[in-house]
């Protein structure tokens, strides 16, 4: 289930091309003879976002602007948002069949990530593939969770640039958003060719890569005492004026090093890449709203790429507000320019309430 890799926004390649509005510069004093000219201090992350916010970018030309993936060592310390230092240790890279990102959310070693990141953790004797026409779907018995141990390990692929920064831990899968799953091939075409079937399968309990129930809760078999964690938010959706940010391990064609991105929530489908598919006639507006702009999603202008799946999205207070599921570009669930889709903690909380033992639920999601 490897996610499609795509390039970053071409419009961000140069400020002139993107049409960025320059920040009014503070007049620099004329240096005295034989002295070096004064240099302006580096902009903070919020200042960068504010500078970009009024400039339309994206394939649709209307999305709020964002801070593209930035290596952590390039972010000025004074520009870091609340919770940033803690998040650097509470967010990690996992490899449980594919490269993904996860967030530690309790002192007992619970982590949240995407469902499509953890197929190796499903109990073998509970899984079955069934065919519905040409649609292959997975079903498994949730009563067999927690399952056995599954281990996150360094990637053994052909990429020699892998930095080896995977959390090398054993986990148990405690719960997932849905007891059914659709294969990627079906998801990339079904919403366009037969949206009614896609919605029926969703109603029957199937999720898919980037869909509303594409999330999972695991626990470390041997939790690390004192390891940093970030509790899930107890609030609702953030305001569209509130800065959102994330740390993840996206693949940029060279490595899986941690990177920072920031942006804002998008609350109108007209400001996402989805609208292009509607205007082209590829999908009806009602179907697009029901499938892609489902109110259980949180859409934003953050960056995403292969490896960023499962990463937490934080608000300006440093609270975990959602889990990354996809980057929509039109033509299916993919990762590059367009709109960042994540699953709000409020929805995850509601879905897992009946699935977790009360003590576990309280440990992870308690708001006392």
Instruction: Please give the tally of structural domains in the chain.
Output: 1
The CATH number given to whatever domain includes residue 221 is: 2.40.10.120
In a domain, 78, yes or no: yes
What is the residue whose two structure tokens read 């004093």? 29
What CA–CA distances, in Å, run from 233 to 46, 194, 344, 356, 366? 21, 36, 9, 18, 10
Judge contact between 55 and 66, C-beta under 8 A. no
Q: What's residue 356's pLDDT?
A: 96
Assign 195 to helix, strand or coil.
helix
What does the buried/exposed string (b/e) look like for 139-159 if buried means 16 or more CB atoms within 10 Å of the residue's CB?
bbeeeebbbeebebeeeeeee
| 192 within domain boundaries | yes
How far from the centroid of its chain's Cα atoms is residue 175's Cα? 19
The confidence score (pLDDT) of residue 257 equals 86
Residue 4 lies in a domain: no
Q: What are the mean pLDDT values of the chain's consecutive 10-residue runs (368 residues total)? A: 30 28 36 37 43 37 59 73 90 90 96 91 74 70 84 66 75 92 76 88 87 94 94 92 89 81 86 83 92 89 86 94 82 54 95 96 92
What's the pTM? 0.79
Q: How many CA atoms, within 13 angstroms, populate the side-chain half-sphere of residue 231?
A: 13
Distance CA 62, CA 41 (A): 31
Neighbours of 111 (CB within 10 A): 29
| Domain-embedded: residue 98 | yes
Q: CA torsion sign, 20 to 26 to 31 to 36?
A: negative
For 225, residues 6+ apart whose C-beta sits below 8 A from its C-beta are: none
35 assigned to some structural domain: no
Domain limits for position 271: 43-365
Whether residue 37 lies inside any domain: the answer is no
**Residue 212 lies inside a defined structural domain of this protein:** yes
């Amino acid at each position: 289930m490897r996610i499609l890799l795509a390039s970053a926004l071409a419009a961000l390649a140069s400020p002139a091309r993107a049409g960025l509005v320059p920040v009014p510069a503070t007049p620099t004093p004329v240096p005295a003879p034989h002295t070096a000219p004064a240099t302006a201090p580096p902009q903070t992350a919020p200042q960068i976002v504010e500078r970009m916010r009024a400039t339309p970018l994206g394939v649709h030309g209307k999305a709020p602007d964002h801070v593209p993936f930035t290596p952590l060592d390039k972010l000025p310390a004074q520009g870091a948002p609340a919770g940033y230092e803690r998040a650097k240790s509470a967010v990690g890279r996992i490899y449980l069949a594919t490269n993904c990102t996860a967030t530690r959310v309790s002192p007992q070693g619970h982590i949240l990530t995407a469902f499509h990141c953890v197929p190796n953790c499903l109990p073998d004797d509970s899984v079955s593939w069934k065919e519905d026409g040409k649609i292959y779907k997975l079903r498994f018995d949730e009563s067999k969770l927690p399952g056995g141990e599954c281990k996150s390990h360094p990637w053994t692929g052909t990429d020699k640039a892998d930095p080896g920064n995977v959390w090398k831990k054993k986990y148990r899968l405690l719960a997932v958003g849905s007891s059914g799953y659709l294969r990627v091939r079906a998801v990339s075409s079904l919403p366009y060719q037969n949206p009614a079937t896609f919605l029926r399968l969703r109603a029957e309990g199937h999720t898919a890569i980037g869909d509303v129930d594409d999330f999972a809760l695991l626990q470390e078999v041997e939790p690390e005492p004192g390891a940093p964690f970030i509790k899930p938010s107890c609030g609702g959706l953030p305001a569209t004026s509130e800065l959102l940010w994330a740390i993840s391990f996206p693949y940029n064609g060279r490595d899986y090093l941690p990177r920072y991105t920031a942006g804002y929530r998008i609350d109108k489908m007209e400001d996402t890449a989805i609208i292009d598919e509607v205007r082209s006639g590829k999908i009806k507006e009602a179907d697009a709203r029901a499938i892609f702009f489902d109110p259980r999603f949180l859409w934003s202008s953050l960056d995403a790429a292969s490896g960023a799946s499962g990463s937490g999205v934080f608000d300006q207070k440093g609270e975990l507000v959602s889990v990354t599921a996809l980057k929509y570009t039109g033509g299916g669930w993919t990762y590059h320019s367009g709109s960042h889709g994540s699953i709000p903690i409020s929805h995850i909380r509601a879905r897992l309430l009946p699935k977790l033992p009360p003590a576990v639920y309280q440990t992870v999601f308690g708001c006392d």
